[in-house]
Structure 1
């Protein structure tokens, strides 16, 4: 686990290459649990903000490598990230209910696709430590 977290931060600027599911999920779940711990301990909100700022670039590069391992360009996370810019529209009065539903559906579908890409198996010889089955 410690190695996975070291790699998470050490490879912050490495957007090429591959990351196995284990390489991806250990830091992702660890950062999530750290956020939960911060909230449970009722620490100041700035600790959570600092953690988010520190982890944004490593998270983007890790996701890019994970997508590439699953056989998709790392750029696929761009529409996924940009979809969140649509969310403020659902709180605007001029938007019709059906428009809000479409926006929520688009954001949800893009993020479900991103989740699915992170759980797909990667390159067979990469996931098995170089052994081809």
Structure 2
């Protein structure tokens, strides 16, 4: 999957928490969100905040689909609320799909 295709698919499945997302789809979208957030925060902090709020649902959806691809429930994303749980999620997201 190419970079543009991954971004397009993630926005087409804006709030689709069902199904799976392969590693390239997830990581390309993660990279896109990270880079755009950094640029917008440098330009104007409010613009970065608005972008982060607008991208929240697609980010949660692609994260849940990625977890489904590894054989886990999308509810595992709640572990990120503990702080240290984010590292567990990074491990799960980086695993090969089933």
Is 2:19–2:65's contact at 8 Å kept on the other side of the alignment?
yes
Matched pairs, number: 96
How far apart are the structure 1 equivalents of 2:31 and 2:70?
19
Deviation beyond 6 Å, 4+ runs, structure 1:
none
Q: Partner residue of 2:60?
A: 60
Q: Does 2:97 align with 1:119?
A: no
8 Å contact kept, 2:20–2:68: yes
Contact 2:79 2:86 in 1 (8 A): no
TM-score (norm: length of structure 2): 0.90
What's the counterpart of residue 33 of structure 2?
A: 31
SS of 1:23's equivalent in the other structure is: helix
CA RMSD of aligned residues (A): 1.2
* Structure 1: runs of 5+ lacking an equivalent: 84-106, 124-133
